């Protein structure tokens, strides 16, 4: 894409955001009841207030730490079981029903069971973990199974070392599947992690703040927290994606 086309596209993006903000503001003005729909201006003010409180930063840090921990351990575990399932058919068959059960069980059921098992403090770690494992497992395994067997035969014939095989054949072939799984998994983690906190109410967490906003009907704070969650998850996803793309590039050097 040339520079002019890119500038045009960016302008359209800004326009789209402004358009929906204006629509939001107009609807809020028509309804004229902050409790039902807070206006964007009121939300921005509430957000500015939140930023000045220490509870905000504590809650943000605590939830972020737990959800990211769940995501990272879930990703590592998902890749690990995908690799051993690829290698051993018996293990693949063994994991298959388990993964299907996790995939189709409602998040709320998991949250309630997990609340009994691990208590509220580490609830979001376990829920994020459980949400990310099936996505990473399924996609990584699919990527591994899609590797051209002819290339593997070639590497066998030329006696390519397992390290070079992993770096130049397996990882580059699996990477596109893995990257899309990470993108989907991250979204799941944030949504389910925060939902878990709303039910489990661990101290100083985003979930607790959302719950309080709900019971005291603080709509503008609810909206402000939602914006914070969206921003933090988008930012984190961008960082992770950039890192993965960089790794992908380095592998081919």
Partner 1 sequence: MSIVLKNISKSYGSIQVFNDFNLEITKNQITCILGASGVGKTTLLNILLGLVEVDSGQVLGLEGKKIVAVFQEDRLVESLSSIKNVQLACNNKVTRTKLIDEFNKVGLGGFEDRPVSELSGGMKRRVAILRAVLSESDVIVMDEPFKGLDVELKSKIIEYVKDKTRNKTVIIVTHSLAEVKELEANKVDLTFTKNNHSVIMNEY
**Interface residues toward partner 1, by CB under 8 A:** 150-151, 153-155, 157-160, 164, 168-169, 172, 252
Query: Where is 217: in which H helix or E strand?
Result: none
| 54-57: long-range contacts, CB 8 A cutoff, minimum separation 24 | 55/204, 55/209, 56/209
Q: E-assigned strands of the chain?
A: none
Q: Which is nearer to partner 1, 14 or 157 (CB)?
A: 157
Q: Which is nearer to partner 1, 25 or 248 (CB)?
A: 248
Are 206 and 60 in contact by the 8 Å Cβ rule? The answer is yes
Q: Which is nearer to partner 1, 26 or 252 (CB)?
A: 252
Q: Which is nearer to partner 1, 4 or 161 (CB)?
A: 161
Q: Which is nearer to partner 1, 118 or 169 (CB)?
A: 169
Number of C-beta neighbours around residue 68 at 10 A: 19
Contact 60, 232 (CB under 8 A): yes
Residue 237 DSSP code = H
CB of 167 to partner 1, least distance (A): 9
Max Cα–Cα distance, the chain, nearest Å: 74
Nearer to partner 1, 76 or 244 (CB): 244
CB of 247 to partner 1, least distance (A): 14
**Closest separation in Å from C-beta 140 to partner 1:** 18
Q: How far is the CB of 159 from partner 1 (least distance, A)?
A: 7
CB of 154 to partner 1, least distance (A): 4
Shortest spacing between CB 253 and partner 1, in angstroms: 8
Residues 6+ apart with CB under 8 A from 98: none
Decide: 125 and 196 in contact? Cβ < 8 Å.
Answer: no
């Amino acid at each position: 894409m040339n520079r002019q086309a890119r500038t045009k596209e960016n302008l359209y993006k800004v326009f789209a955001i402004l358009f929906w903000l204006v629509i939001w503001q107009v609807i809020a003005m028509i309804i004229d009841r902050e409790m039902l729909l807070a206006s964007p201006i009121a939300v921005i003010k509430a957000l500015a207030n939140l930023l000045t409180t220490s509870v905000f930063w504590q809650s943000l840090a605590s939830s972020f730490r737990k959800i990211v921990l769940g995501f990272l351990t879930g990703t590592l575990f998902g890749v690990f079981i995908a690799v051993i399932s690829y290698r051993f058919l018996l293990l693949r068959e063994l994991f298959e029903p388990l993964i299907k059960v996790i995939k189709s069980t409602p998040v709320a059921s998991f949250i309630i069971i997990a609340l009994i098992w691990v208590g509220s403090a580490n609830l979001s770690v376990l829920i994020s973990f459980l949400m990310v494992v099936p996505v990473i497992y399924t996609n990584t395994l699919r990527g591994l199974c899609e590797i051209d067997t002819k290339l593997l035969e070639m590497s066998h014939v030329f006696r390519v070392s397992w390290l070079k095989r992993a770096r130049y054949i397996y990882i580059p072939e699996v990477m596109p599947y893995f990257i899309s799984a990470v993108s989907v998994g991250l979204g799941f983690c944030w949504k389910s992690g925060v939902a878990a906190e709303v039910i489990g109410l661990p101290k100083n967490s985003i979930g607790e703040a959302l719950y309080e906003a709900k019971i005291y009907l603080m709509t503008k704070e609810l909206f402000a927290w939602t914006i914070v969650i969206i921003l933090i998850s988008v930012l984190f996803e961008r960082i992770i994606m950039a890192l993965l793309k960089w790794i992908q590039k380095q592998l081919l050097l």
